[in-house]
Chains A and B, each alone.
Chain A
Amino acid sequence: MPFFVQLAHHFLPETILAVGVMVLILIGAWRGERGFGLVDEMAVGILALALVAIALSSTPDTSVFDGAYIDDGFSRFMKALTLIGAIASILMSVDWLQRSGLEKFEYPVLIILSTLGMLLLISADNLIALYLGLELMSLALYVMAAFARDDGQSSEAGLKYFVLGALSSGMMLYGASLLYGFAGTVSFAGIAAVVSTSAPIGVIFGLVFVLAALAFKMSAAPFHMWTPDVYQGAPTPVTAFFASAAKMAAVAITARIVVTAFPGVKDQWRQIVVFISIASMLLGSFAAIGQENIKRLMAYSSIGHMGFALIGLAAGDEAGVRGVAIYLTIYLIMTLGTFAAILAMRVQGRYVENVSDLAGLSRTNGWMAFFLAMLMFSLAGIPPLAGFFAKYYVLLAAVDAGLFGLAVIGVLASAVAAYYYLRVVKVMYFDEPAPAFDRAPMAVRAVLAVSTLALLGFWVYPTPVMDAAAAAAKSLF
């Protein structure tokens, strides 16, 4: 297949982003600080264009660039989620950045670069491409975490994330080199062929290191330690991006690598996934109790949710991956909505981020309280909100796969986690009102309302998501 045909047919979204980001850099360099507004709007346009390209793409699953890259249903589904997350993050961030004096054109550029890395990661079909995508994504994220460079907390978050990210990259490379050493190939399909029945201990070593590095990216326990500090310290829109788009890519590549490269040693990697899943759920449930900072609370919440998503992966079959896809979709919506609400927490021009600042919100801003309450109910997994179905499908897959213990722990952990979600609702509806919030910008309110309505409406018309997730899962096997 000619190179340009490959580019045009199977690499179009990435191409759009790569070309677009270079244009944006030029515009930014030319117009300087004044270029923020234009760059920002163009960035949204570029991302939306990439999303349209994915939506219109209907080619059969194809491996391109000599097996380094794959364009299949699963990658398209995940890329769409990632792009939605990125678009929402940029939309919500504009007002915040302007009010915080951070309206620099590098911000949307970095988001697009990072998103490009994510798309590469999602479609990676060998270890080299995987590492390329991972680093492209991460390097941009490190910078974004420290984007408020005059803020000590933000700088600390960026530095911590970078140091620990470097450690995880080292693990990734070490694991990849072990895999290459034992398998003699970097291609996932090649590795799968070598370790089809039994695996030498070296391959398992390599797998453990690779999975540890990926778990770091998706902030799953016990590789989650950076998450609370970075989520709290980073600028809020950046945190929203971390919690939404970045997770999609990390979970997607994890699912892809274990399913396509290691089907022969399913029993082994399943044990690792189960371990990480349980550790994440328990930690996410327990540690969030007593958190006062809502961004930190959401950090632990995201850890717990990654644990839940991994339940589906632990099942290791098509139903399990479908559960993961559904879970990530709903998690993305919930996270974007919640961070929209957090971005709306502004009292007399000053952003606040404590749970107690939400006190009595039902009386000062009834709609926002209602939306946030629905989001919390959904995060807690209370029917008929979408969060319940997310948990339902992964648990169903786990039970069908015979992982009863994992399912039971998952249910118990979600019961514990319900405490801190419901506490937010309680604070909003039953406590004496705190000072009222300022009027939130249009984009934030739109994201909050749309995501909440999506969660409320999921049980009425879940078919599009269900079908797309099923198709995505099917392409992986």
Chain B
Amino acid sequence: MIYAIVFLPLVGFLIAGALGPWIGARASELVTTGLLMVCAVLSWIVFFDVALGHDHGYAPIVGNWMTVGALKIDWALRVDTLTAVMLVVVNTVSSLVHLYSIGYMHEDPDRPRFFAYLSLFTFAMLMLVTADNLVQMFFGWEGVGLASYLLIGFWYQKPSANAAAIKAFVVNRVGDFGFALGIFLVFQLTKSLGFEEVFAAVPGLAGKTIHVFGMDVDALTMAALLLFVGAMGKSAQFFLHTWLPDAMEGPTPVSALIHAATMVTAGVFMVARLSPIFEYAPTALEFVTIIGAVTAFFAATVGLVQNDIKRVIAYSTCSQLGYMFVAEGVGAYSLGIFHLFTHAFFKALLFLGAGSVIHAMHHEQDMRNMGGLRKDIPFTFAMMTIGTLALTGFPFTAGYFSKDGIIEAAFAAGEHRTTAMIGFVATVVAAGLTSYYSWRLVFMTFFGHRPAHSVAVNHSHDEPSTDDHAHGHDDHGHDDHGHHAPHESPLVMLIPLAVLAIGALGAGYVFEPDFAGHAYDEFWKGALFTGEHNEILHEMHAIPAWAGFAPTAMMVLGFLVSLYVYVLKPGTAQALARIFPRLYQFLLNKWYFDELYDFLFVRPAFAIGRLFWKGGDGAIIDGLGPDGVAARVADGARLAVRLQTGYVYHYAFAMLIGVAAVVTYFVAGGLR
């Protein structure tokens, strides 16, 4: 069954990718979507078997990949509760996104390519989550990076999409470099890369130091930190987050699948999978906590002022990933995965809802040009509201259980560690900010009035699509682009919204006992490792009542402020921006990270490149090599030609000089 789950998307990719031009767009859509539906159903079966049932998991070996000395790497499909959770998340969201894309992309001429990429991504993600060793995980890790690159740059005619794709790829290089170094170090320490062997060897390595750059550092901390750098890149954590907002250049279903629900959570998954290593590296865990806390807070602040509907959600994703790392940093891996699980539902819902809004507005993404849409697209409005409630942690929605659990765990751990308390403060504040910007999005989009000019500008087609509206347009509700009344999306796009909405509402309540409650042990069956002093899941229930209510209070506060600013007294936001121009600009420009990196890395890299190009290659190698020799030859040629004056007495003189030189040579030699 696991073979089918992992390889059916690959089959879909090969069919749509290789045969797409022959079988046509419709067939490509149906094949890939159908296969993913099968995968999703099978994934749930595996989930019930392994996670909820009594199956302890298995890891069938598909084949040997490479054997070099002590390095032996197999292709294996590891299935345990953690994998089962990820399978469910990935395949459910992926199949719904496939389905949704049939409607969303129906105007695009390159649909076979699009669906092929989506299936390729799904396959790579499944390889990642079923990996039984670090190298296979790296394979999947790079595979999803490739698919992400291809999909961000799907509209390759757009320069901004290409730039965003390259940026995502390059920033992920930094993280992957750390990941690779981490893998090397783990192999150096344990002489193995298979999870079972590595985890078995880790306890014996506690306290071991290695000599790096003249310092003795704890080996496991070093390894964990390097591996975490990889997670930071993939999960867009602080310092390496800059690619994620730009990745919104890709089609919206891609944003939902890759940049909200699955790929960006690979870092969270990786830390959870490697929990046996991180548990023995407490310093690394504190670092994870700090990074997560800073990201949660930072991304939430930037989200406050963004005007692009997708960018708001992108920063929200960034922020929520920070929550997950805070949970893992304080040792509550299961809460991190739980939040990953619920977040996949409501964030995919929000993205697909935003896609529906964009679709309705004819590819308008700027919220300032929206407003009052709740009457035009009521279903989308309802779904977006559900997603927002879940994201902000409205009681008994999915986000309420997972997010508040994280905040409580952070508070509980804060009694031992300062970093965890920082995490607590940051996440509580971020909860309020999250509520504010989420409701801001809803209010700006669905309430108030649409600016009069929005109709005029909204056909600029930010997302290029064929203007060939003559075919396949029946489900669009209108054939005439002369009037641009917003319209509800087709059913094929609304069904995924409904399914995700169910998850966003119920996933928390249903699975809370399993992920983090009393059924913890029966559910995880040791897939997550916690040290013997790690009692975080018990301690978090013993915290003061005010700490437990804090996030809910912040959520209400954020909602009220947003309501006041955008509904009750419109214009307040502009006034605030005028009163605090510097702060506003600071946030609007994303804390100037892009500018900082441009100054720190991009331009120096260009300068170094130019130095080597002009100086190293051009001046030294070419200059002293081919060009220089050629130039000297040309000089020599000019000199030789200049000697040829045409005057007979010059010629005679040259002859006599020649004789004189030779004679002088011999006379001098004779005297000596």
Contacts and interface: CB of A to CB of B under 8 A. Distances in A.
B64 to A, nearest CB: 50
Interface in A253-298: 268, 271-272, 275, 282-283, 286-291
A163 B649 CA distance: 9
Given A163-B648, A228-B644, A271 B665 contact: yes
Contacts of B652: 163-164, 167
Contacts of A135: none
A268 B654 contact: no
Interface stretch (B42-50, B119-127, B487-495, B629-637): B629-637
Interface residues of A, number: 35
B531 interface: no
B633 to A, nearest CB: 6
A201 B672 CA distance: 13
A189 interface: no
A403 interface: no
B655 interface: yes
Interface string A226-238: 1011000000000
Nearest to A420: B637
A430 to B, nearest CB: 19
Contacts, number: 76
A287 B651 contact: no
Contacts of A201: 666-667, 670
Interface in B612-665: 633-634, 636-641, 643-644, 646, 648, 650-652, 654-655, 657-659, 662-663, 665
A446 B639 CA distance: 39
Contact of A205 (B641, B646, B650, B663): B663
A167 B637 contact: no
Contacts of B665: 271
B651 A164 contact: yes
A160 interface: yes
Nearest to B651: A225
A165 to B, nearest CB: 11
Contact of A212 (B637, B641, B643, B659): B659
A343 to B, nearest CB: 24
B648 A222 contact: no
Contacts of B641: 287, 290-291
Contacts of B650: 225
B662 A275 contact: yes
B interface secondary structure, majority: helix
A201 to B, nearest CB: 5
Contact of A208 (B634, B637, B654, B662): B662
Nearest to A290: B637
B496 to A, nearest CB: 62
Nearest to A284: B640
A171 interface: yes
A204 interface: yes
A173 to B, nearest CB: 14
B633 A416 contact: yes
Contacts of B667: 201
Given A160-B648, A222-B654, A271-B665, A286 B637 contact: yes
B633 A222 contact: no
B633 A208 contact: no
B638 A160 contact: no
A404 interface: no
A377 interface: no
Contacts of A221: 658
B655 A223 contact: yes
A416 B650 CA distance: 27
A419 interface: yes
A171 B659 CA distance: 9
Contacts of A164: 648, 651-652, 655
A269 to B, nearest CB: 10
Contacts of A268: 666
Interface in A191-228: 201, 204-205, 208-209, 212, 216, 221-223, 225-226, 228
A272 B655 contact: no
A168 interface: yes
Contact of B633 (A212, A223, A291, A419): A419
B642 to A, nearest CB: 10
A222 B657 contact: yes
A275 B652 CA distance: 19
A200 to B, nearest CB: 9
B601 to A, nearest CB: 44
A223 B643 CA distance: 13
A288 to B, nearest CB: 8
Contacts of A222: 654-655, 657-658
A209 B658 CA distance: 10
A461 B640 CA distance: 39
Interface string A3-46: 00000000000000000000000000000000000000000000
B631 to A, nearest CB: 12
Contact of A290 (B634, B648, B654, B655): B634
Contacts of B646: 229
Contacts of A289: 633-634, 637
A217 to B, nearest CB: 12
A178 to B, nearest CB: 11
Contact of B659 (A160, A209, A283, A290): A209
Contacts of A205: 663, 666
Contacts of B662: 208, 212, 272, 275
A4 B646 CA distance: 49
Nearest to B653: A225
Contact of B640 (A160, A216, A229, A287): A287
A222 B662 CA distance: 11
Chain A to chain B: the 6 pairs with minimum beta-carbon distance, closest first: A287-B640, A225-B651, A222-B658, A289-B637, A286-B636, A286-B640
14 contacts: A167-B652, A209-B659, A212-B659, A221-B658, A222-B654, A222-B655, A225-B643, A225-B644, A225-B651, A268-B666, A286-B633, A287-B641, A287-B643, A290-B637
Interface of B: 633-634, 636-641, 643-644, 646, 648, 650-652, 654-655, 657-659, 662-663, 665-667, 670
Given A205-B663, A225-B654, 9 more contacts: A163-B648, A164-B651, A201-B667, A225-B650, A271-B665, A282-B636, A286-B633, A287-B644, A290-B638
